Amino acid sequence: MTTFTLSSFRDRPLQGRDDCTFCQIASGSQPAHLVYESERCLAFLDILPIRRGHVLVVPRRHVDNLAALSVVESNGSKTGEAGEAEEFIRGLVVVTRGVGKALEDDRLQIITNQVYGQVVPHLHFHIVPAPPLPGSTPSLSSSTASSRTSPKKETPPPQRSLLPLIGHGRDELDDDEAVELARQIRAAVDEVVKEETARRTGGPDAKL
């Protein structure tokens, strides 16, 4: 079984594919607003965001889709494809938590398409902030109660300027805004990684 699995992977290129945008991002030949990086996993802002904070999580190696991801266990080794699924899922969780933290909103859609509806044939998960509820302004609902008790203070909530959403048209990401947004998400993801590392008892694999 194992022999069969390994030999069937043998003809797959371990290096990136020249015609694949995500491989180009993974190799650094194409720029991207990175929010997370590990040996096998990468996350960056979608250049055509459905909503502000839309992030893509991909394995570094070219893998067509989720079903094609190697589930060979790492057993402490980081060679070849061993541990790829573990590391990818770990990255996905950490980035999901980080996006929720950075946007102060855990309502997210986490989506992957397989063949059907798949535009880029390199495994990727979309992390998309949920649409605002009809008639509500995101994150401002919590301040409504206090504004009722205190008569009209003109203090804008600190996050206000970050709130306007890009909308549903998938407009191309504005570069200046993207730099700032990526910085915020990266900082939140770093915090999550630090929290996770601190939760472990400092063994040799305490590194996330």
Smallest separation, CB 125 to Zn ion (Å)? 8
Smallest separation, CB 25 to Zn ion (Å)? 9
Q: Which is nearer to Zn ion, 95 or 193 (CB)?
A: 95
Segment 16 to 35, residues that bind Zn ion, using CB under 5 A: 20, 22-23
Q: Which of 22, 189, 2 is nearest to 81 (CA)?
A: 2
Task: Tell me which of 33, 60, 101, 122 binds Zn ion, using CB under 5 A.
Answer: 122
- Cα separation, 31 vs 97, whole angstroms: 24
Active site includes 124? yes
Smallest separation, CB 146 to Zn ion (Å)? 40
Element containing residue 58 per DSSP (H, E):
strand 55-59
Residues contacting residue 51 through CB under 8 Å, at least 6 positions apart: 128, 129, 130, 131, 165, 166, 167, 168
The catalytic residue among 54, 124, 126, 168 is 124
- Cα separation, 198 vs 196, whole angstroms: 5
- The region of 12-20, 70-78, 93-101, 180-188 touching Zn ion under the rule CB under 5 A is 12-20
Q: How far is CA 81 from the centre of its chain?
A: 21
Which residues are the active-site residues? 124
Q: Which residues bind Zn ion (CB under 5 A)?
A: 20, 22-23, 62, 122
